[in-house]
Structure 1
């Protein structure tokens, strides 16, 4: 790895870390000696990159620090292309359009030598063989998730039984051919997953639910961890 690439990678590691990163952790990820890491950290500080910390404790990057736009590696560019391709082929129309716009904006801002990685990537994702049709606006569901509002739905399960639910929408999961809406179900008093193509009817309520999304997400993740291997779909 070139030194310039290594310095850039150190910044990326520190940027994504939530706590101080030790020189040992940096050396293991970068596959270099700790002495090299100490020298690189000193170079970054000398270039006025706001890295603070010391040996034995770890290093942090000032959260307000921002790098020049789109200083991406070829692997990062192709990862962005691959992810955007998948979203464009499998998500709702609004997200699909956003994914295509994202790639166009990245390509427009890149220097010429890097545009090849957008125009001719070495990776691709095939389109899904079949894709279930949603019976409600996924874009509006995402809006309601952000706003913390309730949905009232009529849902048909795999046996064809229809029930009415008031749910607190939390997260939309994108599988290869279907979408699942993770939510707190007031009827079951538990987290449930609803296939969006089985929602017969949906009313977007103005009523806000009681839970903060961060708290609900933490509870949902704990629930998923405990229920691994258990079918939680309705």
Structure 2
């Protein structure tokens, strides 16, 4: 494999693999030695790619200089229209607006032929009612996840019993008919999955759990894998 092809393969690996990605994993994926991998990362940085991280920690692709939107093929455009269309029907107004904005930005950067393919995509979403009906402000929960801030919530279980607890929200999980919040529950000192439609109230506590979110998620996923 020539060096240009190898660099493109490295970029693609960094696009699709969950960060931070260790040098060993990248070297295995691209079939090179660690020494060559470090040189390739330096070359990508010199060419304009923003790659955060360092040896011994892992790498994250922040800005990809090689993939402008107009490189989407027709099937990728169909996937974008379908996926963002689904987001617009979830029932989260803030996220729906972001999906419409993202689709408009992509369309604006496409050449005429590709833009017409997007406007006339055959893959469409139709939902007479929102997929999730929520009273909870999901924007508040997303912000808490992004900024690693604890929330005080009032939660009703399946029997209707209400408890008040402090949680460290880690991720949002979109199931078929239920939107759930994966969190570390300080009351139970363990991971818990809270149905968003059963969270009656949520407020910021001012407590930060940075930088624990990534490690907590890894611990949860490790536990899931051990159970399967």
TM-score by length of 2: 0.72
The within-5 A match list for 1:179-198 is 179-198=179-198
Show the counterpart of 2:225: 225
- How far did 1:174 drift? 1.6
Q: Per the alignment, in what secondary structure is the counterpart of residue 135 of structure 2? A: coil
1:170 equivalent to 2:166? Answer no
- How far did 1:90 drift? 1.0
Show the counterpart of 1:26: none
1:116 equivalent to 2:155? Answer no
Alpha-carbon distance between aligned partners in 2 of 1:197 and 1:155, rounded to the nearest angstrom = 9
Structure 1: give runs of 5+ residues left out of the alignment: 1-7, 24-52, 229-234
Cα distance per residue 1:171-201 (max 9 Å; x no partner): 0112233210000001111111111110112
Alpha-carbon distance between aligned partners in 2 of 1:224 and 1:166, rounded to the nearest angstrom = 23
Show the counterpart of 1:47: none
Show the counterpart of 2:10: 14
Alpha-carbon distance between aligned partners in 1 of 2:128 and 2:191, rounded to the nearest angstrom = 28
Q: Per the alignment, in what secondary structure is the counterpart of residue 146 of structure 2? A: helix
- How far did 1:74 drift? 1.5
Q: For the structure 1 residues 162 and 211, does the alpha-carbon distance in structure 2 shift closer, same or farther, using more than 3 Å as the test?
A: farther
Structure 2: give runs of 5+ residues left out of the alignment: 15-25, 50-63
Q: For the structure 1 residues 10 and 81, does the alpha-carbon distance in structure 2 shift closer, same or farther, using more than 3 Å as the test?
A: farther
Q: For the structure 1 residues 206 and 122, does the alpha-carbon distance in structure 2 shift closer, same or farther, using more than 3 Å as the test?
A: same
Q: Per the alignment, in what secondary structure is the counterpart of residue 121 of structure 1? A: coil
Give the CA RMSD over aligned residues: 2.8
Alpha-carbon distance between aligned partners in 2 of 1:198 and 1:86, rounded to the nearest angstrom = 23
Alpha-carbon distance between aligned partners in 2 of 1:67 and 1:150, rounded to the nearest angstrom = 38
Alpha-carbon distance between aligned partners in 2 of 1:10 and 1:77, rounded to the nearest angstrom = 26
8 Å contact kept, 2:174–2:180: yes
Show the counterpart of 2:66: 67
Q: Per the alignment, in what secondary structure is the counterpart of residue 84 of structure 2? A: helix
The within-5 A match list for 1:126-205 is 126-127=126-127, 131-205=131-205
Q: For the structure 1 residues 167 and 211, does the alpha-carbon distance in structure 2 shift closer, same or farther, using more than 3 Å as the test?
A: farther
8 Å contact kept, 1:181–1:196: yes
